Homo-oligomer: A and B are copies of this chain.
Amino acid sequence: MSEPSSRRRRGRTSGRTVAPHRSAVYRHLRHPFAPQSVFSDDEIANLHETALRVLEELGLRILLPEAREIFAAAGAIVRDDMVYIGRDIVTGALATAPSGFTLNAANPDRALSYAPGSLIFKAGAGCPNASDLERGRRPGTLEAFEETLKLCQSFDVIHSFGPCVEPQDVPIQFRHYAMTRAQLTLGDKPMFVYARGRGQVEEAFELIRIGLNLSDDDFADGIWASTNINTNSPRLIDRPMAQGIIDFARAGQMAVVTPFCLAGAMAPVTVAGALTLQHAEALAGISLSQLARPGAPVSYGGFSSNVDMKSGSPAFGTPEMTRMQIGSGQLARLIGLPWRSAAGSASNAPDMQAANENDMGLWGCMMSNATLVVHAAGWLEGGLSFGYEKFINDVEMLQSLAELCQPADATADAIGFDALAEVAPGGHFFATAQTMDRYETAFYTPLVANLDNHGSWTESGAKTSSERATAIWKDVLTQFSPPVSAAPVQERIARLISDHEKRGGTLPLD
């Protein structure tokens, strides 16, 4: 599976290279900083203990009978649709849940280690709308979803695919075919499958197996798909989510259990309270996964933030969210699992608010050593819109963070006493041997940042970074061609999809 796209992406756009010359080193990142704390170890132990009490004494409402039966068989107390999960069940699940595994991809060099210490970025996901400065805001379509995949494929710092935009023009019973096909034929990164019921999930798995030419054993022995499981906070797991946990576990594919706890609305108004609820719900999902199949790849997830007390709207990139991220990292370390966090913005436009909120979330992930950072680029309006210009500007920040993951050089040559001696007081280093040897690769090359002085910038149209980003995403889309490995995939899956469609497709589970 050769990969010509890095050469292709070096084409110039508006006089600048879209992908930085060393983007390939962005493919596999490890956290460069020690994780931080907001609570003491005792306090974190107390949050964990309280979460266990929540599961035992308050219980969860679990709507899928099959899931309740699995819990009952493991000794949980089930009354109607309430399930009370003893701490022995949780302890057992944490003992079998793996602390790390590999996410496979069509391109082996894009496979990812999913384990504590890894740093994986995904673009904004789940957006019903797409927006850009040229075409405005519009409901998500398959064309928009495919465009977002092309954008994600084109930047090495976006590590894995996700459902950036919901293709609402594809009927829901056919949508999983279109979304899986698009990922298989436009790129070669780890793939995402929605947990919208067993029928759709099994068909998506089948498409991946056939599309990537995997035997049943190949597929079963590795992770080729991942999904996100959102609990319905507080303390409720709906049917498709519960079934998704079971089905991904049994198929050996990855489920990320991510309560979405909005402090002050569906979660307690305090950071500690919202985290406790998040932790209880995540442990419930992880327990179900491990009961369905011990050792199944499952990730702890946290996406807790707060509502804006003025509008009641969800807020992102707030200081409360940052604290919850750091606290989530502490809880994930306590139970020894990799974990998922998020960035994102509530802003309606690709403006300073959008950048500041996203940056708070991203740095919250850096400070907490999040394994997976979802919504890292392009997520506007609290997820109601995928913004193309925001995506490009966010990628700039992700590439900057990826640079911080590279080794720092303090060899004698790097310190360079000779170079210091070579330049007279008040002189310059433009022509030192050290500079000449290194200047082409010494610094990160900006993607959208403009370093012109005010005069030159004004002469070239006085464009903001969002306005400049329009030309960049257009250029990426214009220049895009899929990796050669994807070429035979379409042929392999076309007949299968056609047959499924003729039979009327498969509706989601209610």
Using a CB–CB distance below 8 Å, which chain A residues touch chain B? 16, 32-34, 36, 38-40, 43, 46-47, 50, 53-54, 57-58, 60-61, 82, 137, 232, 234-236, 263-273, 276-277, 280, 306-311, 313-315, 317-320, 322-323, 327, 346-357, 359-360, 363, 366-367, 381, 384-385, 389-390, 393, 396-397, 400-401, 403-404, 408-412, 414-417, 419-421, 423-430, 432, 434-435, 438-440, 442-446, 448-454, 456-458, 462, 464-466, 469
Contacts and interface: CB of A to CB of B under 8 A. Distances in A.
Nearest to A354: B352
Contacts of A319: 400-401, 403-404, 444
A288 to B, nearest CB: 15
Contacts of A82: 425
Given A32-B36, A273-B434, A315-B451, 6 more contacts: A232-B426, A268-B420, A269-B419, A270-B409, A309-B445, A319-B401
Contact of A36 (B34, B232, B315, B451): B34
Nearest to A453: B313
Nearest to A402: B319
Of residues A16, A61, A360, A434, which shows the largest number of chain B Cβ atoms within 10 Å of its Cβ?
A: A360
Contacts of A443: 263-264, 306-309, 315, 318, 320
A284 to B, nearest CB: 11
Nearest to A306: B443
B427 A465 contact: no
A356 B313 contact: no
11 contacts: A47-B410, A47-B415, A50-B420, A57-B421, A234-B420, A276-B415, A318-B443, A319-B404, A346-B451, A352-B466, A353-B396
Given A61-B426, A277-B420, A367-B33, A357 B268 contact: no
B310 A270 contact: no
Contacts of A356: 355, 359, 393, 396-397, 400, 449
A178 B129 CA distance: 54
A442 B400 contact: no
Contacts of A354: 352, 355, 465
Nearest to A435: B269
A308 B439 contact: no
Contacts of A457: 348
Contacts of A50: 415, 417, 420
Contacts of A271: 408-409, 414
Contacts of A38: 32, 408
Contact of A39 (B34, B408, B464): B408
A308 B447 CA distance: 12
B415 A449 contact: no
Given A311-B451, A381-B454, A415-B276, A464 B269 contact: no
Given A273-B416, A319-B444, A423 B34 contact: no
Nearest to A465: B353
Nearest to A393: B352
A203 to B, nearest CB: 30
A227 to B, nearest CB: 22
Contacts of A355: 352, 354-356, 359
B347 A404 contact: no
A420 B273 contact: yes
A449 B404 contact: no
A357 to B, nearest CB: 7
Nearest to A364: B404
A346 B333 CA distance: 38
Contacts of A456: 311
Given A46-B410, A359-B359, A404-B322, A270 B438 contact: yes
Given A351-B464, A353-B450, A264 B390 contact: no
